[in-house]
Structure 1
């Protein structure tokens, strides 16, 4: 039995691969076909990304609210701000458009101007009755004027719900069936019913209809994610293949690499389907990531093959050495990269867990594919031509390597000084980083639906629901006048908060009831006194119409009430300030022994999820550092080597964090991935360099300087090639319409560029400066894992190729 990292193991692996190439290729084809059968199980997510664990207190509070009052994110609003709407033809057409959605099975109810009803006093039967503002269709301008006067001046209950009396903006509310809000039926309604009908209305009546609401936003956002998966995969293939061809000047090598990464993408999609995971904003990034990570594997393997062919011209020996020498090193680098992603599995967020599982499995899969396919395909191909090997002698590459060597020889103090300055400046920048819990910040800012969000924010103070649930701890406790007064005090604070819309609750309904009791006089839109309460409640109890309205705000037992407001798209800092102000008021107004008040809603859940992710960032990054440190310690049997290997990889992370602070890029669900991804990838260069350095030490009789410069010249070219591919590969994400994805691509690209320079300049400088304490025989003579086997004269064996 062979040890996984031993020379014998890789010799046996090489023989197995090269002797069984037909069987292996057939196996890869069969595996790819099997994975392709799982694509049909890929489902695009129809819910917001829940960043919190299922059993988190914030989620439990939110789920408890949903059990009491049902899905709160089922509202779609359509609105018009145009004075010409108030004409007989257009207003009737608007009401007809709103009414047309009522018959669709996906719609629970629709409330438009035509559906608004007055609460009127029926003295004879001592009850309240509902009377429509518009009994049939509108036939005269005078009717419209009367309607405007009543809505805008006499009935504050409806103000800021379906109209803005200041700007005369009108909107209709479409409540989707709660059972379909988080299913594909929501998309069918939005794409096939809602949008076509609105577009036809706009074209016919020359009106600009604005549409928003969480179901609508989520649907269009999901469509953008689907489009961008294809865009990223195509762009990543194009960019990496162009760079690859620029380096190797070989169509053959480029096509082979593309075949490998395309199969890798097919396997990745198969893994997502096999595990029945939803395609979210995060998992959508993995296919192009696999392309970007897979191409460097191809570069290492093909570069080694061409180097060996040029060295001795023996194809069999070259292919054997590709597997035995580069296979081990590539395995280690892919394992460390996968480890960076796998740390997300240890978090309690299901979204991050799924991302970590798929990414780490896919990285290991692309390694296996590269190791099997590339050597096997080259067994069927003729020797590389001279022009394919010219890149090994490029003068500009030699000039770059010479510059690095000169810097390490002559400018070591300058390297340390620059590193220290960057460290200090970056730490200052880190303190300027902000956390963002915005639901729409990462959405395409130039898109029409984001512009519509801004429109409704300006006109109605937001569309993202924030809910306050009042538990009176006793049945029918909500309708107690003392409870209503306390709720009214809390609502006064909400009204005073500019980021929140006018609240809707049972308090408004009771005020409306008093106004109706006094024959619709708007001066009486207020809570009743204790003397008035008994008269008004007796009317309310006899009214079936009031019961229907009441069910929207109070649960069936009368113990729980909801206060609904809508929030603008604000940052985490403002959200925390608002929450703190609300909680202070709640603690002051509602005695804890009598009431239990909870603040919830999608906006708050997302904001709390972002804060939770920040904590998980520290955990996942720490786990990645610890995991890779243990690996390095085991590999080199030296705690001191951990310090030397971590410094060049942690410095780029600090620099990137500093840049985020200076450039105003906040910590959010998308940018939070930067550090673990970049660290897992950048440490690969360190492993390659130190492994080659140890080999050079043994070959050069433990001469430190000779070994450092030898390792620098040997690994510098490959590190440069792969870093350039990774830089431009991750830069592909900057073409995204999602701000978070753009930031992710730019930040990872910048971090990997810093990491390359750090590993090529700072790492060898540290080795030279600390040579006496680190680079000695006891530390490096017998590593536990021999990443790069010692050069020996491998005799050609019979591989039957």
Structure 2
């Protein structure tokens, strides 16, 4: 196929301008990039787990409404394990008391609950006594220690939440009220908690573990920082090694690294100007941009050095490379950007940011690859190696192999891909926000320990309304709540249920001389209201009932704590509770909480992304068809572009089987990447058919020999880049990266094996017909690579 004379003239003039004004072009490109990069000063980090949910998310709305009614549950669970395995010793009780006292002084602390300050109520004659369960525990006698142990292990509020049944592990729960005015509020609270942890471990024979919602939010932040500090240098090393191995030129390699570096800086600066806050998913944009940006430079350099080996001067080779690469790398950059922009269909805002930042970075990389890179190549006196790369010979041999064995290759490749695609139903939608972090992250190991030895971190919270002020004292309402609580306690997934009905029972017993026969709910509303008022007036400051009742005493909160389990089961447990209420009472309530929000996000996000991917497929297919100017070839290209994604998800179903919110993003993102290879292969194929007058087989040989090496090298870099990202300590990023690397690998295999065979079978056009369907997207010999 022949490009139009007008297009050639425009590109030729552009190339002449770049070479003639090379110094100014280089300086302008660098200056513009650094101007964009200056926006990085506006970048902030959002370490709140709520960032994963849009403001319109119904589960987030319900949770925030409940948090406005009751005390917030943003907490740090300070778990204490005595070395001797017994909580009820003077030393351990002293440690608990010290943590409890000093926790009140932590930044933004609102409430502290522990075994020591548990409000133990008991009768003294006709008087109700409410006091701390432990006071000066370091001086307790053996009899006092035994009494404290018996009381603690008989209290439903404590057992399974702040102490385990073996009395070998206990916890102090610190609730925070963050002002939400500064991004360093969470780090401040975490730093104070860690400082207290170190202090206690040095002073007492105990081990301290930290978990809770505040630690979760901080783990998101620290994981992002760790990834940016470790993965980016690793990615640069891979790019330098692979690029130098390909071009064997220090100047060309360093120029490529500069293009990548400026693309990354410019994209992050643009994010700063746009007011985007960095989150763990969007922090991976840096690594992804670096990975994708190198492809444009590779194609430009391979063509330039190929021209120089043919005898062209360096400047002529630059003109030649710009002319033949401008259209295809523009098309592949646009299709890649479209794929990432499809992430805006996600229900998780951080992935909008990841898609937008990366799309901008990809287009910036294209701009720098056709401005800065050729300008630098015109300045730096690079030379082409005289030797032909053996990889080029391997590509020619591979082309002959495919042509000679077209039938078995067709059946094996297509059946294997379809068989893998058939395994897609093995995937289930699930999320585990503790499992997002690998075991190198302290939050993960501490939380696993707490799940195994004390209590769960996953909670489902219900707000039950009596329908009137002070209605929580109504015996009928209390009996309904109690039935709900006892039903939940009988469920195998539940480790603890926190409800004020237990306190009502205890007060009723206290008011009858601590007679165990009266451990039950009051039978009269007025009596219950009096008990409630008397108890509330006896509570110290900071330990009010706002975490269990609203101010008007019209509703109460029931908190169900669950064992470690997949999010899909958390959603099911919450739904069972709602159904119990509907079937056994007139009450209606939905379970809310972070665990519930994460439980629903994967499935809803996948549905959104299926539509987003469909839109991306339509747009990308139209772009490819228009660029190639061949409807038949455009239709053929859909097969090697879509089948790798289906096969990758099928293989994921076989190997992993769990699709979380990040993995569900891969379809649209990877689509934009995998089309690049087929675009380059098909553009060379059509050039051979149209311009060189070749038949189908010779055109396939031509495509293999001219663009094969560049496709392999760019695919290797992409796979390597996403493999580096797969080392992230944050599971969302690593899972997304692994599946994307699998999809790119599948695409490389199918582009080299299935696509040529499909062309043999389906491209029945004559040479004259093909010549009429010219394409502006073409390259020339690119696989004549330097050894």
Give matches, 1:98-497, under 5 Å: 98-121=100-123, 128-142=128-142, 144-179=144-179, 183-191=183-191, 193-385=192-384, 388-390=385-387, 393-395=388-390, 397-497=391-491
Match of 1:722 in 2: 714
How far apart in 1 are the matches of 2:362 and 2:329? 11
Inter-CA distance 570–8: structure 2 relative to 1 (3 Å threshold): farther
TM superposition shift of 1:775: 6.1
How far apart in 1 are the matches of 2:302 and 2:481? 72
Match of 1:692 in 2: 684
Report if aligned partners of 1:416, 1:762 keep a CA contact under 8 Å in 2: yes
How far apart in 1 are the matches of 2:703 and 2:153? 82
How far apart in 2 are the matches of 1:729 and 1:790? 27
Match of 1:42 in 2: 43
Report if aligned partners of 1:157, 1:512 keep a CA contact under 8 Å in 2: no
Q: Does 1:787 align with 2:777?
A: yes
Q: Does 1:682 align with 2:684?
A: no
SS of residue paired to 2:488:
helix
How far apart in 2 are the matches of 1:782 and 1:602? 56
CA offsets 1:330-384 (integer angstroms, 9 cap, x no match): 1111111111101112445422222221111111011111211111111112240
How far apart in 2 are the matches of 1:292 and 1:430? 27
How far apart in 1 are the matches of 2:549 and 2:57? 26
Q: What is the TM-score when the length of structure 1 is the normalising length?
A: 0.91
How far apart in 2 are the matches of 1:540 and 1:49? 35
Q: Does 1:631 align with 2:632?
A: no
Match of 1:24 in 2: 25
Report if aligned partners of 2:26, 2:376 keep a CA contact under 8 Å in 1: no
Match of 1:611 in 2: 603
SS of residue paired to 2:590:
strand
Report if aligned partners of 2:567, 2:595 keep a CA contact under 8 Å in 1: no
Inter-CA distance 144–447: structure 2 relative to 1 (3 Å threshold): farther
How far apart in 2 are the matches of 1:455 and 1:552? 26
SS of residue paired to 2:497:
coil
How far apart in 1 are the matches of 2:12 and 2:359? 26
TM superposition shift of 1:577: 2.8
Give matches, 1:628-777, under 5 Å: 628-701=620-693, 703-772=695-764, 774=765, 777=768
- For structure 1, the 5+ residue unaligned runs are 792-801
How far apart in 2 are the matches of 1:4 and 1:621? 37
Match of 2:784 in 1: none
How far apart in 1 are the matches of 2:576 and 2:138? 45
How far apart in 1 are the matches of 2:594 and 2:107? 25
How far apart in 2 are the matches of 1:682 and 1:246? 23
SS of residue paired to 2:456:
coil
Report if aligned partners of 1:404, 1:761 keep a CA contact under 8 Å in 2: no
TM superposition shift of 1:755: 0.8
Give matches, 1:445-594, under 5 Å: 445-522=439-516, 524-530=518-524, 533-545=525-537, 549-591=544-586
CA offsets 1:597-642 (integer angstroms, 9 cap, x no match): 1211110011111211111221222122111111122223444333
Match of 1:64 in 2: 65
TM superposition shift of 1:750: 2.3
How far apart in 2 are the matches of 1:515 and 1:49? 42
TM superposition shift of 1:283: 0.9
How far apart in 1 are the matches of 2:293 and 2:150? 67
TM superposition shift of 1:84: 5.2
Report if aligned partners of 2:689, 2:699 keep a CA contact under 8 Å in 1: yes
Inter-CA distance 700–81: structure 2 relative to 1 (3 Å threshold): same
TM superposition shift of 1:72: 2.3
TM superposition shift of 1:254: 1.4
Report if aligned partners of 2:396, 2:704 keep a CA contact under 8 Å in 1: no
Inter-CA distance 544–662: structure 2 relative to 1 (3 Å threshold): closer
TM superposition shift of 1:767: 1.0
Inter-CA distance 637–49: structure 2 relative to 1 (3 Å threshold): farther
Q: What is the TM-score when the length of structure 2 is the normalising length?
A: 0.93
How far apart in 2 are the matches of 1:702 and 1:625? 31
CA offsets 1:636-684 (integer angstroms, 9 cap, x no match): 3444333310111222112211111111241112222332222211101
How far apart in 2 are the matches of 1:149 and 1:572? 35
SS of residue paired to 1:468:
strand
TM superposition shift of 1:739: 3.5
How far apart in 2 are the matches of 1:327 and 1:263? 20
Match of 1:797 in 2: none
Report if aligned partners of 2:77, 2:171 keep a CA contact under 8 Å in 1: no
Name the Cα RMSD after superposition: 2.6
Which stretches of structure 1, 4 residues or more, deviate above 6 A after TM superposition?
2-5
TM superposition shift of 1:534: 3.7
How far apart in 1 are the matches of 2:392 and 2:321? 23
How far apart in 2 are the matches of 1:98 and 1:3? 79
How far apart in 1 are the matches of 2:234 and 2:334? 26
Inter-CA distance 756–544: structure 2 relative to 1 (3 Å threshold): closer
| Segment drifting more, 624-633 vs 730-739 | 730-739
How far apart in 2 are the matches of 1:178 and 1:614? 32
SS of residue paired to 1:164:
coil
CA offsets 1:157-185 (integer angstroms, 9 cap, x no match): 43333212334422111112232598412
CA offsets 1:113-161 (integer angstroms, 9 cap, x no match): 3212222347757xx4422223445314325424434424554443333
Report if aligned partners of 2:37, 2:270 keep a CA contact under 8 Å in 1: no
How far apart in 1 are the matches of 2:268 and 2:506? 56
**Count of residues in Structure 1 that have an aligned counterpart in Structure 2:** 775
Report if aligned partners of 1:107, 1:176 keep a CA contact under 8 Å in 2: yes
Report if aligned partners of 1:338, 1:361 keep a CA contact under 8 Å in 2: yes
TM superposition shift of 1:716: 1.0
| Segment drifting more, 678-687 vs 452-461 | 452-461
TM superposition shift of 1:322: 1.9
TM superposition shift of 1:786: 0.5
CA offsets 1:412-459 (integer angstroms, 9 cap, x no match): 111221123213421342121122121111212243322221222233
TM superposition shift of 1:518: 2.7
Inter-CA distance 462–775: structure 2 relative to 1 (3 Å threshold): farther
SS of residue paired to 2:377:
helix
TM superposition shift of 1:240: 1.8
